[in-house]
Structure 1
Amino acid sequence: MSLARTAQWLLLDIPAAPEAGSRLQHGFAGAVRHALFADTELHGLREQGPQVIELASHARLADCVHDQPEDWPGLLLQTSVSAAALLEHLRRMLTVTFGLHHKGLLSYYNPWTASYFFDARDASELSRWLGPIDRLYWYGGTWADRAMGSLGWQQMVNPRRAVSDLAIEDNLSQHQQDKLQVCLLERHAWSWCRATGHDYGVIWCCLEEGLEQGFTEHAVLDGWLRLRLQYPSATLQLVLSGGTQQERLDSLRQHWRNDPT
């Protein structure tokens, strides 16, 4: 039996694919659904936000999700709890804190984000974040997988460790923050790959090289990528002059213009 047909719920990522919301409205208007953002800080965006859709009584929708998963991006959920209990947990996952003073929206319902965030390395951590969800499925992979055309069904099983319930505005672990940072960097490399026509591996190597040089500011990192692609064989100086990242990049650009070897 297909993954889509064994799942009771589809958490549809409408923000990433508004056309999926239109298909849902016109083709499956009778489907029981709940706005994920309802009764949260994002209540005003509930109609444009993710939708939690009951699949159990809509075999045709489940078939569509199985046959054209890229047209229905999101997460498939298996659980034995009520809709109210599931929604409470899913909404609790939306707002997270990290560091000492930072709070943000966690788009875990996006299949690309899910491919980084849901990590089985820490069974206790995974148990807390999955909570009442027994199994989680999605079609996709990492941004690197996407660049290489290596996508497929992903599955995460709840280890069911004895852990405390997820807190309101729970704190992301350093490991989770690191994984999400990789997600952002690989997405940026994928965007550059598409925009320039260069191989993903080339862009990723250039990006890593720039980070090693301390070019972490967004605009400076992009400037570095343009410069490195212009001088792919140029040798890096051991020490770059300048007090800021932009000044160090400018000095390197001048050096390579004068001596690109």
Structure 2
Amino acid sequence: MSQHDHAHTLEDLLPREARLVTWLVIEQEERTLQRVYELDEAPDLHWLFYGTRYAELPEKSPLVVRISASSSLWQAFVDGGSEPPLRGIMVTSRESSASVMAHLRRLLEVTFYGRRRALLRFYDPWIMAVLLGAESSVARWLGPLEGIYWYGGTFAQRAESGAVWHACTQARQEVGAHDGVAREEIALTRSEEAALETFVADYPLWVELETRAGLEAGSAEHAARFVEVLEEAQRLTIPPTEWGDYLKLRFVHFRAGLPEGMMARPVEERLSALRRHIGHEPDDTNTGKVWA
């Protein structure tokens, strides 16, 4: 049976098991490979795309690196909160390297909406959080792995506890019990498809608020506010094309509240009404930025 936990430190989630082997699965960006070799002169490193249909793109291939808890690479990954240039996830297993690599490569490709096929960036901690936060069969994601670890969480999880470390684990005796499931082609469930659809639609709004409105990615308060104003925009049937402007105004001028009679106004006038309302409020933002 799988278990999902979270904690402020990775050490609080990891089992005290010397025989477990730990791997990083990290997205390859401009400085990633250089950084790995700066921290480990002779890393046990594999290109995830090797032997797959994506093998001709080695410069885009995620890196799978075996690490130990005492290594500089481990510490840099933990201290960096799995952000670039070491952006990714951590996995543990007592199975062979070949078994672990075969499983990770199998996760690269999924089917969705019936017969469509796509590359799945499961090594992105946001994507992993979304997938394991959906109503999914965890056994097929874990396979021969005893644990998957990542930093951050979904929007809803961040709203509860901020950005923290997460773990999805299964008991040792469960690892060999799902061999059939682990070898099947992965077809996303409808709940997984829906969770990814929602994330793909909402994440650009999150990034824009980070960049231009002072949203702090690690803050539970800011994540809760993001979730609240996003739900508010949906409840007010604000057109999706106006969500960016609506969220910026509501996130920054959160204390201003909504104008009276908002629901009684035509949908196409609600954003303009909010702008006029905020224009008459005192300049009292809670992020230090002003939106006119």
TM-score over 0.5 for the pair: yes
User: How far has the Cα of 1:12 moved from its partner?
Assistant: 3.3
Of the three residues 190, 195, 204, the one matched with 1:174 is 190
* Residue matched to 1:244: none
Runs of 4+ in 1 over 6 A off after TM superposition: none
CA deviation map 1:125-184 (0-9, x unaligned): 111221000112222222466689822221111252844333564210122223323433
SS in 1 for 2:59: coil
Q: How far did residue 65 of structure 1 move? A: 3.1
The CA RMSD measured in Å over matched residues stands at: 3.8
Q: Secondary structure at the match of 2:182?
A: coil
Answer whether contact 2:39 2:72 (CA < 8 A) is retained.
no
Does residue 94 of structure 1 match 2:117?
Answer: no
**What is the SS of the residue equivalent to 1:154?**
strand
Q: Is the Cα contact below 8 Å between 1:93 and 1:129 reproduced in 2? A: yes
Task: Pick one of 113, 132, 138 that aligns with 2:144.
Answer: 132
CA distance 1:155–1:200, shift in 2 (3 Å): closer
SS in structure 2 of the partner of residue 44 of structure 1: coil
Matched AA of 1:204: V
Q: Distance in 2 between matches of 1:99 and 1:48?
A: 26
Matched residues in 2 for 1:197 and 1:126: separation?
35
Structure 1 distance, partners of 2:188, 2:161, is: 30
* Length-normalised TM-score, structure 1: 0.73
Q: State the secondary structure of the residue aligned to 1:118.
A: helix
Change (3 A) 1:152 1:29: same
On the 8 A contact 2:262/2:270 being kept in 1, the answer is: no
User: After superposition, what is the alpha-carbon deviation per residue over 1:94-150, rounded to whole angstroms, capped at 9, x for unaligned?
Assistant: 11111124222211111122222124965xx11122100011222222246668982
Do 1:14 and 1:21's aligned partners in 2 also have CA atoms closer than 8 Å? no
1:27-66 → structure 2 map (5 Å cutoff): 27-56=39-68, 59-66=71-78
5+ residue gaps, structure 2, are 1-9, 216-221, 251-256, 278-292
Aligned to 2:27: 14
Runs of 5+ consecutive residues of structure 1 not aligned to the other structure: 241-248
- Asked if residue 154 in structure 1 is aligned to residue 166 in structure 2, the reply is yes
Pairing 1:184–2:184 present:
no
Partner of 2:227: 204
The percent of aligned pairs where both chains have the same amino acid is 24
What TM-score comes out, normalization by structure 2 length? 0.66
Tell me which of the two structures has the higher relative contact order, counting C-alpha pairs closer than 8 angstroms and 6 or more residues apart.
2
Q: Is the 8 A contact 2:135 2:192 kept in 1?
A: no
What letter is aligned with 1:208? Answer: E
Q: How many residues align structurally?
A: 244
Q: State the alpha-carbon separation in 2 of the partners of residues 201 and 80 from structure 1.
A: 38
Q: Secondary structure at the match of 2:245?
A: helix
Q: CA deviation at 1:80?
A: 1.8
